[in-house]
Amino acid sequence: MTKLSVNINKIATLRNARGGNIPDLIKAAVDIERYGAEGITVHPRPDERHITYKDVYDLKGVLKTEFNIEGNPKEKKFVDLVLEIKPHQVTLVPDIQGQITSDHGWDTVAHKSYLQDTIALFQSHNIRCSIFVDADLKMIDGAKATGTDRVELYTEAYARLFSTEKEKTIQAFIAAAQLARDLGIGVNAGHDLNLKNLNYFKTQVPNLLEVSIGHALISDALYFGLENTVQLYLRQLK
């Protein structure tokens, strides 16, 4: 069974737009768990434009499912946060300052030594590591040398071409997941997965342990309601 981890950044974005505590991010996270999600994902950025560092500390005390923190480990503040919170999983993403959203994976060959050291640090604190990568066999092969526990496949290309070239586009993700499996690496996926393209991805891609979905799920909740939307996404994964 592929787990659903809900990224709650967009709930924080809405709250921050007005100030105050509406919507209540912590209550929303607890409710999302109660509605059936198997995990909560946050991606705090240096400018704290959505998830704040305080949010991460507040969530640590209330979450009962898997806690996944995403971010760029080149930010010392991020590394310190993860080591203090000790989430179940840290997902390393090569974002740059001010980036609107993640748009590329790690070059696991060029950054091999850096990723090895960073992953070893987190693993020494019993934190599972996942690294954000493109569906490129060279990058998957390079990921093995870093010592990572998992890779998260960056699925924007699949989502963008789903309506016209899904059979062709999915092949790279199938091959990447198969290689990861052969190398003993777990497979996660995320970015632009939604109710239209999720089930096909899940049924085609082997060894898919977890998907992280935020923007589409929170947007769908405006129409379907939060509880119903979480259930709709869970059904796509069965």
**Which residues are the active-site residues?**
43, 70, 191
Treating both helix axes as pointing N-terminal to C-terminal, what angle do 137-146 and 156-182 enclose, rounded to 10 degrees? 50
Q: Are 11 and 3 within 8 A, CB to CB?
A: no
Q: Are 177 and 207 within 8 A, CB to CB?
A: yes
Query: Tokens 């300052």 correspond to what residue?
Result: 97
Phi and psi at residue 160, to the nearest 5°: -65, -35
Q: Residue 118 CA to chain centroid, in angstroms?
A: 18
Q: Are 174 and 205 within 8 A, CB to CB?
A: yes
Q: Closest by alpha carbon to 69, among 30, 173, 57?
A: 57
Give 146: exposed, middle or buried? Use CB within 10 Å, 0-12, 13-18, 19+: buried
The 8-class DSSP code of residue 67 comes to: E
